[in-house]
Structure formats: C-alpha cells, structure tokens
Amino acid sequence: MTARSCLVVLLALGAVAVNAATITERSIEVQLSDSGMREQIRIRVSIEEVGDLDAWSEYSILVDENIELLSFSIEIVDSQGDRVDSLKKRHLREETSVGFGLHSSSSAMVADLPTLSVGDRISISYVRMFEPLFLADWAPILLDVPQSSLNIRISGSSESLRWSLRNAEELVDVVDTGNGIHCRGQDLPRREPPDGAGDVLSVGPALVWTWDPAGTWNEVGAWYAGLTDDVSSSSVQSRRLVDTVTKDLGSAREKVLALADYARLKVRYEAVEIGVGGWVPTPAHEVLTRGWGDCKDKSELLKALLAGIGVKAHLVLIHNGRTAMIDPNFPSTLGFNHCILAVETDGFEILPTDPVVDGLLFLDPTLDRGAAEWLNPTIQGQWALVAAGETGRLVRLPVRYAEESRAMRLEGVIDEGGAFRGTARVMMTGLRAVGWLRDLDSEAPERIEEAARRYLQYVLPGMTLGTLAWREIEGTVPTFAVEGIVTCDRFVRSGRSRRLRFSYLNTLPETRELEGRNEPMVIMPGINLTQWRLILPEGWCPPAAQPERVGNSIGSIEQTVEIDEAGRLVLTRKTVVRRSWIGVESFEHLRELAGAENRLSRGSLRMICPESE
C-alpha cells in the first residue's frame, strides 16, 4: 500500500550486499506539487574489493501505476577515469510481481551491469514521477553499505508539509530552506541490524514526509472512507446470499460469524490487487460474480453482506507483519499494507476472547484457517486505522498470546541403564500451525513426515525417532499435532550421582544478543509448555523439588519438579511472552526472562540420593 517497503529500498538502491563497495555520493532531490512529486536520484559508487563485483551485477528501480520512470542513465569509468560502458533507459528490462501492500502493478526496471573491475566507479542517475493518492513518502538514512555523503532536498512544499527524522538525530542535520528542507550527512556507516530487528521503515534511521492536507489520524481515516464508502451497493445476488447463509441462524453473532466465514472460505483470495492506486476495493457484486478478491475486496464484500443484516462495519488499514510498526505520532498512510474489517458490536454478543477494541470487532476475511474471530498474530498488537468517516481513528489491536502456543509432552520409562523409551507429542496453535496445515493440503505425506522428523530432531536433539503420526485438530484457533516414538540410550548420565538433561521448547533470545543493542527486538508472543513424565527404576531416588519462577511486564517463566500420584517424575516448564515488539526500555525485563530460560536450559537435574547397590 505504501509507495515503498523495506525490499523496495533495496530495489531503489540496486542489488546491494553487505560490505559491498562504498557509496561516495547519494543525492535525492524531491520537488513537491499538489498532485505528486518529482524525484531525482544520483548515486556514485566506488568498487573497492573483489567481493563487490557480484553485488553490483545489476541495479533495480521500482515503478508501478503511480510511479513513472522518466529518465535513466548509468556510466562506468575505470580507475584511470576512462569510460568503460554506459546504459540508458532503453537498456532496462522489466521484472514483474515485486510489489507490496495493496499495489499489484509494481515492477522492477532492471539494468544488467557489465563485468566490473576493482577500482571502477559507477554513476547512476534517474528521475521518477510519483502521483500517489495520499501524498507521503520516505527515504532511509543508513543503507547496508557505507556512504561518504548524503543529501536529501525537499522543495516546493506548501504549509501542509510535515516531516519526521526517525532514529537519525545524531547522524544527519536537517535545516529549513524556506520552501522545504535539506537533510545532510557525512561518513555514514552501513546499517547492521541485529537479529530480530524491525524493518528499516519502522526502526531504521529514516526521513519521512507528507504534504497531504490530512494531518490527523481522523482526517487520514476520513480520506480513506471518502475513497471507499460508495464502492458497494446492494444487489439481488448479495441479498439472496445473506438470506441463504443466515436463514437458520438465530442470534446476530451467529449471523455475523457465518457471513464472515462465507467471505473467508467461499471467496478465493488472490493477490491481484487492482483499483485506483491499489487502494479502492472492487464492488461486492463483482467479487461474488467472479469468486475471488484481494484483501480489500474481501473486506468490502463482508462489509456489504453485514449491511444486509443491519450490522455496520468499516474498512481498516493495518500493517501485516511482526517486524514493522506504524508510527502513531505521524499520521499518514506510510506502512499500511493490508486491509481488514471492523464491525460495530452494538446489538450482538461478544466474548472475552474476541478481538474487540473500542466497541469494534476486528475480522480478517483473508484467513482461511481457524474460526472467523481468530486473528493472525502478524496483525495482533498493530495500530489499525478505522476508516469510519468523522469517527475514524487509530486503535491498537490486542495481542492474544494465549492462542499462539506450543506444547511438548514426553512420557516414558527410564531403565536401569539410564536409557529412555517413550513417546513425544508436540501441539502447535495459531500461526505456527498454519504452515503445517497448508502443507497438509499441498504436500505428499512423505514430505510432511520428513519435515516433522527434522522439527522433532531440532527440539529433541540426541533422541532417536521411530514411527510418526500427525493431524489437524479442529477448533477456533488453527492447531496441528505431531507425535511419535522416541528413544535415547544415554538419557541419564551416571557418575557420583545421576543427572538428567532435558530438552525444552525455548523461545527467548540469548542474553548476549541484547548487549549493546539499541534497536527493538521482535519475538514471537505465546505460551511455550514443555512437560516430561518419567517412570524411574525401582529404588532410584527422585530429585528434590526445585520450583523457580520469574515474571515481569513482558511475560514469565516457571519450572516445577514433582512426583505425581502415579509415582512418576514430572518436570514442567512454561514460558509466557505477552507481546512481540520489545523496545529498548524493556530490555531489562527481557534480559531477566531470557537469562532464566538460558540458565534453566543449560542445567541438568541431579538425583541427589546415593545409587542403590
């Protein structure tokens, strides 16, 4: 939906690899107008090492129905200043299906560079014309290559110009030029995002700007409502469909969810996202006739069907993806790439587990797994813009971490020699289950078994796997289970005392990953439960109970060791993560939880009584 995304940044800058060359000069000249903007890019690159050659074998530029490439040129000179080659716009080839969000017309215009040599210098220049429906854009400050000089000039602005320098205050200076701004920086290092980092638009140093008159979230929501509110109208086909789907249902809630299921399961999702600027959905009667639609089409269809039972709903713009986050302090359309629906809940029952915020039930008609009231965690916790005219607003969706879980249970017997024989069962719910369930639809059983063996071997290192079985478990949340026979000949280590080393479903990072980190960390929310139930040989003394618990604002970790009524040794570990986006201000709590999980996972359980004769 945005003009660019993190991959688009790479497309705009060329196929740049880590440690690849140096950009000696990067210049972006932006001329704003009431209908769009003209952008001129100039980049000069110095090829310094052999490893740079492959990285600069091609250069790509994004275009779509609202972005026109006006001119393009590349010139290559050698270390002596002699021209090696040059390319013009006519030399470019097109690659399609590279866009993001609600755009389907995006493509890359690719220049294949000739064979380069160390010491060569590349000069790239091109001009693009943008005519977006919502007037906003952005540029990253740091790239994955170092930059000697950066200049971004924005001019021709009106009083509507707003801009924000995100996470770059110490890297660049921005000055007011009277009719715009000038952002400049020198000797900028390459960006090296740590593991689990957010995407470049969300957390990477960037300059963002908008010159659209809509300057508040209410106004941005009203802007989108103005584009879309008149798209659908009642039709004979939709009225008959509503009557057919709801005729045997009593409550309003049953009818809402039944119509949501129709839009989710009976209308095929296709990412052929057409419409004005990729923003405007197809009318509901057309979606019904052809039987498919994209995210905004399916949301618009459900909105029209709900209107048939007197329930009001609104289209919602949101970001789909855990590694990015909309900036709530900068009202614009930047970062939105998905469309769902918000249903006004007046007049029908809602449950405590429903994703309801501010009197609105949020439904995603593109999901074909689980029940209608389940939301993919890639949009949970995200800021959502409700396009409700004068009452449009930005709200944050709840995180239903309890629905995103993994549970591993091992039951078996330890013999006198310390060998383990038993069964292992892993059950996944939510997003983790969806990939497995899709494989059930498309992959041969032997491929599923191969993947299941790899997964169990990963979570149970050192175990030998026997026969496996797997299945889908029906329910509100997508659920997948795999189980099988497992053995380990040297499960108990003997010496002066017996020691048991358990495997767990770990979910938190190593504490060393947080040292010196200054960017948020994105982790998977949910509940991870591991339980071992072991029958010990007669005469073996069980370990002493060792309960441990750590809890804070991010989540908790708890481990218990006990003997149950059947005389089995039961070890239980439960790790709860309540949110995915962990800011630097919360690293102390994350470090506390991760440290506890790391320590418990490295430890072993000691049988403290003497060995029997």
pLDDT tens digits for range 479-536: 999 999 999 998 987 766 788 889 999 999 999 999 989 889 999 999 999 999 999 9
**What confidence tier does 277 reach under pLDDT thresholds 50, 70, 90?**
low
pLDDT of residue 97: 60
pTM over 0.75: yes
Q: What is the mean pLDDT of residues 136-160?
A: 92
Cβ-proximal residues to 282 (8 Å cutoff; 6+ apart), any chain = 231, 274, 275, 293, 297, 300
pLDDT of residue 494: 75
Pairing of strands 93-96, 107-112: antiparallel
Q: What is the DSSP letter of 542?
A: P
Question: In percent, how much of the chain has pLDDT > 90?
Answer: 73
Q: Per-residue pLDDT tens for 293-349?
A: 999 999 999 999 999 999 999 999 999 998 899 999 999 999 999 999 999 999 889
Mean of per-residue pLDDT scores for the chain: 90
- Whether 225 has a pLDDT exceeding 70, the answer reads yes
pLDDT of residue 445: 94
- Angle, vertex CA 262, rays to CA 256 and CA 265, nearest 5: 130
3-state SS class at 293: strand
- Whether 9 has a pLDDT exceeding 50, the answer reads no
Cβ-proximal residues to 253 (8 Å cutoff; 6+ apart), any chain = 348, 349, 350
pLDDT of residue 144: 87
**Amino acid at position 480, single letter:** F
Q: To which residue do tokens 């997508």 refer?
A: 478
Q: Which ranges constitute the DSSP H helices of 266-342?
A: 284-290, 295-307
Q: What is the mean pLDDT of residues 67-96?
A: 92
- CA–CA gap between residue 352 and residue 133 (Å, rounded): 38
* DSSP-assigned beta bridge partners for residue 428: 406, 480
Cβ-proximal residues to 102 (8 Å cutoff; 6+ apart), any chain = 1, 273, 275, 278, 279, 294, 295, 296, 337, 338, 339
**Dihedral of alpha carbons 193, 195, 201, 204, sign:** negative
CB 577 within 8 A of CB 554: yes
Question: In percent, how much of the chain has pLDDT > 70?
Answer: 93
Q: What is the DSSP letter of 64?
A: B
- CA–CA gap between residue 597 and residue 582 (Å, rounded): 17
Phi-psi sector, 126: left (phi>0), alpha (psi -120 to 50), beta: beta
* DSSP-assigned beta bridge partners for residue 72: 126
pLDDT of residue 609: 61
518 or 254: which leads in pLDDT: 254
pLDDT of residue 130: 93
CB 191 within 8 A of CB 144: yes
The continuous run of DSSP H or E covering 43 comes out as: strand 37-46
For the chain, list the domains and their CATH numbers. 6-194+205-210 (2.60.40.3140), 218-398 (3.10.620.30), 402-607 (no CATH)
pLDDT of residue 272: 62
- Whether 259 has a pLDDT exceeding 60, the answer reads yes
- Whether 16 has a pLDDT exceeding 50, the answer reads no
Q: Per-residue pLDDT tens for 530-573?
A: 999 999 998 887 777 678 999 999 999 999 999 888 889 999 99
